[in-house]
Amino acid sequence: MITRPATYWTVLFISLQERLVYRGEFAMSTLMRFLPIITQIFLWQAIFSAIEVERGSETIAGYTFHGMIAYYLLTTISRAFSSMPGLASGIARDIRDGTVKKFLIQPIDMVSFLLVRRLAHKLVYYMVALGPFALVFFLFRGFFEGWPEPHVFAGFVLSLLLAFLLGFFLEATLGMIGFWFLEVTSLMFVYMLLNFFFSGHMFPIDLLPGIWGDLVRLLPLQYLAYFPAAVFLGRVSGPALAAGLATQFAWVVFFAVAARVAFHFGVRRYSGFGG
Amino acid sequence: MAVIETDQLAKSYRVYRKKEGLGASLAGLFRREYREVEAVRGIDLRVEEGEFVAFLGPNGAGKTTTLKLLSGVITPTAGTARVLGHVPWRRENAYRRRFALVMGQKNQLWWDLPAAESFRLHQEIYCIERDRFGQTCHELCEMLGVEHLLGQPVRELSLGERMRMELIAALLHSPEVLFLDEPTIGLDVVAQHTIQQFLREYQRLRRVTILLTSHYMRDVAALCRRVVIIAAGRIIYDGPLDGITGHFSGQKIVSLQLADGEMPTGLERLGEVLESRPPKVRICVPRGEVTRVLTHIFAHCAVQDVSVEDPPLDAVIAEVFSRS
Amino acid sequence: MDNRGLSQFSQHGDPRPNQPPGDAAKTGLSPSAPPAPLRPSYTRVAYTFLRNSLVRDMTFRANFLIDTISSMVWVLMNLGFYVLIFEYTPMIGAGTGWGKYQFFLFLGTTLIINSLTRGLFLANAIELSEHIRNGTLDFILLKPIDTQFLVSLGRIEWSALGPLGFGLVLMLHSFGQLGYAPGPVTVVLYVFYLACGCAIYYSLMIAMSSTAIWFGRNRSLLDFWFYITNFSRYPMEIYRGPWGDPLRWTFTFLVPVLVAVNIPARMLVRPLDVRTAADWTLPVFTIVATLAGLAVSRWVFQRALLSYRSASS
């Protein structure tokens, strides 16, 4: 690519400013994101109290009550990195209304451009969200068993960064489907549902019994929410951790390539139709 | 009794002042500055039954705000108004059944449904008897020539066709007072003409009282005898259309057809020379000077033909707007 | 005056262009005001809304189908989560009585109330903030009919009916599994409290969307709605302890979303028993909360309308 780094700085800066305009909504939506967790805490408290009384057990699939809540809190961090609201639908819209053409004319690579923009969005989000996140984790510190060992924490951070990249390239690839099908909204909704349930956002995927669990573990979705949280909690360690990170990285590479390939063929098809 | 009567009607808004730049956007997270905008500052208006009045004024002069106040959509900050004996912003059903508002830039018809479905909804809301509804609808459609489009989804209609449907929707309940806010905006000349014709004819048949705002002088000249000019929230002229030129323009335009192609000298001392392509010459002269100028010209050149006219309405209005 | 128009209209066949006013009294274009009845029929207007919405939904059949399917998938996945939970626990909350099929009765009630309020009001509440932003609320304010009524029912989402049907089926299945059928009194009470629950949700929704008049845009209404109703998705017994009690009180007495689903669901699971104070206080309170909710939301709506400034075109 011939684009100078300075161009990307400008993109970054303008995007930062653009995002800050939507003030109140920002802070509000960040805080509200934790509201469902409160319900989850009470739900699981009720469930754990019931199994203790009825079955005399204190764990579900290896999770204690505290471990379960810590897991949910950690998945909010994973999601803060991996969720890409509006990315795929935005790409599909750009393709539909022809905005995508500007990337064919201007000397800037669309995938990189979107990545930098998304980075800006995320940076602004973290700036605003850091406060609420710190507050929530401080309030709920009782659910954690202290900080993990340095190398585990390093693995956690690495898996978060990879989760960001995976989330980005996966959604970008989905958005490229817009080159072939004009209406992708329904497809996006299905993806959102699958993501919600099988990334580990709704419940730890180890809860899934038998074949279901095996199937879900084959999908890349678990690396968007479940995997970083599991690393932090020490449920994945040693060789499994290394293998997990390697698999996550492999998925990132796969979708990074897939997004570009899809773009390449999509554009060819697009210009073939005369745009 | 006057149909519309207002006394010192005023409306002001609080507006958020947005600043540019990243720093200001950040600061805007915590503090916002506001300023007061006085959209309408004390309007006294009296409209009699059956009048067709045009509201003129530059953008932001308060025309639309006045119409919204009179239709009760917004509440004034000061002053009173009565339309058909009702205070509009009390929004009594008895009042709302007696007038209509048409806005050229907003539409009320269901976008995805045929206009006929929206009309039927109006029939229910305004309790229009079935026979009466059928008849009114038929007559209005025929007058506007859109009967064949009734079954087509509104989103598939052209702007002009949609505007005609909007008009029908507003007139189904036979309002006694009609507020039209730029009903012809964005339409081509033919479509504008259709709507003008319709409005004139409708008003002639029904003798409704109509208040119209428009940017197009063509609308105004074709429809209204009385004109109200608003600028910066105040009425600066209220009177017959012909009076505008007299009221605002102290100028007359003298057009000459000279007998020979020779250009007389010293014309620029008499007034502003608008055109000098002998044998045609046009000069803009102060009203009081016309006699003196003509005497001077007749004394110095051979004139074949002469006419003295008011400046064109568009030009006068533009001048008034630029002054306010 | 220019008279070109007349000839054209005559060509178009205007039936009585030159009729004297007296004879024209029976036609739509008569100059005299029509003697209209004073009150529009609200049921007929509502019926027209239902009909128009259905016509619209049927024009976009593919969208309608997709909406129905995706809301069903969502419901099924949620059900899957609860089935999963009941693989590990016999009950939600020790000693609360919310076993698997009791909870499915609760879930069915949630689905019914949610789809009714979503189908009837949510799209309208969202549209209200759009109307405020675009200034098209003007037209609604002009109509000689109650503004809140018009705003609340303008469009109806028929696709929300899917989950409603599913909720009913789930409840029938659960009754079958539990091996008992509710008596007529229970059914009447259930339907009554179902209506109360819908009214409480509706009040909250309309009050929230009215605030768009003050705050300009209100895009997160849907999110906010999701988060608030999130609290009422589970039996209220789960909120206990030093944090849970205040939370339960807040969402029972301050923002009464908890009673909206809980009270009707309890009618089925534990038929009303008036022997102890605890058994009848909440049902009675629910009636009070419903009335208060409707009154407060109407007051908020009216207050908000006073500040409506009508976005300029």
Q: Summarize chain B as % helix, strand, coil (round to 5).
A: 40, 30, 30
**What pLDDT band is residue A163 in, cutting at 50, 70 and 90?**
very high
**What pLDDT band is residue B261 in, cutting at 50, 70 and 90?**
low
Which of C138, C140, C148, C307 to mutate against chain B (most B CBs within 10 Å)?
A: C138
pLDDT at A25: 58
User: Do the chains contact at C44 and B198, CB–CB below 8 Å?
Assistant: no
Closest Cα of chain A to B21: distance in Å?
Answer: 7
Q: Which residues of C touch B13 (CB under 8 A)?
A: 309
Amino acid letter for position B277: R
* Contact residues for C278 (Cβ-Cβ < 8 A; gap 6+): none
How large is the average pLDDT for residues C268-287? 76
H-helix or E-strand spanning residue B21: none
What are the start-end ranges of the E strands in C192-263? none
Size of interface B-C (CB pairs under 8 A): 151
The answer to whether the Cα torsion of B56, B62, B68, B69 is positive or negative is: negative
Interface partners of A (3+ CB pairs, < 8 Å)? Answer: B, C
In the three-class reduction of DSSP (H, G, I as helix; E, B as strand; rest coil), residue B145 is classed as coil
pTM of the model: 0.80
Give per-residue pLDDT as tens, A27-64: 666 777 777 888 888 999 999 999 888 888 888 988 99
* Among the partner residues C89, C227, C230, nearest to A47 by beta-carbon distance: C89
Closest Cα of chain C to B278: distance in Å?
Answer: 34
- What average pLDDT is seen over chain C? 81
The answer to whether the Cα torsion of C78, C81, C87, C93 is positive or negative is: negative
Size of interface A-C (CB pairs under 8 A): 92
Find the residue in B nearest to A16 (Cα): B22
Q: Which two tokens stand for residue C215?
A: 């705050």
**Inter-residue contact C103 to A47 (CB < 8 Å):** no
* Among the partner residues C34, C49, C143, nearest to B96 by beta-carbon distance: C143
**What pLDDT band is residue B115 in, cutting at 50, 70 and 90?**
very high
Q: State what percent of residues in chain A have pLDDT above 70.
A: 90
Give per-residue pLDDT as tens, C73-113: 889 999 999 999 999 988 888 878 889 999 999 999 999 99
Question: Among the listed ranges B153-167, C218-232, C270-284, which one has the minimum average pLDDT value?
Answer: C270-284
**Inter-residue contact B69 to B10 (CB < 8 Å):** no
Interface partners of C (3+ CB pairs, < 8 Å)? Answer: A, B
pLDDT at C58: 85
Report angle CA C255, C256, C260 to the nearest 5 degrees: 145
pLDDT at B312: 72
Q: What is the ipTM of this complex?
A: 0.81
The answer to whether the Cα torsion of C106, C112, C117, C123 is positive or negative is: positive
Amino acid letter for position C86: F
C308 close to B (CB below 8 A) = yes
Q: Which two tokens stand for residue B250?
A: 């102290």
Strand pairing of B33-47 and B4-17? antiparallel
Q: Which of residues 236-295 of B touch C (CB under 8 A)?
A: none
Closest Cα of chain B to A268: distance in Å?
Answer: 33
Q: In chain C, where are the structural domains located?
A: 42-306
Q: Looking at domain B4-246, what is its CATH homologous superfamily? A: P-loop containing nucleotide triphosphate hydrolases (3.40.50.300)
DSSP state of B182: S
A25 close to B (CB below 8 A) = no
* Among the partner residues C66, C81, C93, nearest to A50 by beta-carbon distance: C93
Closest Cα of chain A to C288: distance in Å?
Answer: 26
A23 close to B (CB below 8 A) = yes
User: Do the chains contact at C92 and A43, CB–CB below 8 Å?
Assistant: yes
Interface of A with C (CB under 8 A): 24-25, 28-29, 32, 35-36, 38-39, 42-43, 45-47, 49-55, 60-61, 185-186, 189-190, 193, 196-197, 202-203, 207-209
* Contact residues for C137 (Cβ-Cβ < 8 A; gap 6+): B73, C128, C131, C151, C308, C310
For chain B, count helices (H), then strands (E). 11, 13
**What DSSP assignment string belongs to A11-70?**
HHHHHHHHHHTSHHHHHHHHHHTTHHHHHHHHHHHHHHHHHHHHH----BTTB-HHHHHH
How large is the average pLDDT for residues B10-21? 71
Closest Cα of chain A to C277: distance in Å?
Answer: 25
Task: Please tell me whether the peptide bond between B279 and the residue prior to it is cis, using omega within 30 degrees of 0.
Answer: yes
Domain range B250-311, CATH architecture: 2-Layer Sandwich (3.30)
pLDDT at B275: 79
Give per-residue pLDDT as tens, B68-102: 999 998 889 999 999 999 999 988 889 999 999 99
Find the residue in B nearest to A25 (Cα): B29
pLDDT at B4 over 90: yes
pLDDT at A113 over 80: yes
Find the residue in B nearest to A18 (Cα): B22
How far apart are the C-alpha atoms of B137 and C40, rounded to whole Å? 19
Q: In chain B, where are the structural domains located?
A: 4-246, 250-311
How far apart are the C-alpha atoms of C81 and A202, rounded to whole Å? 8
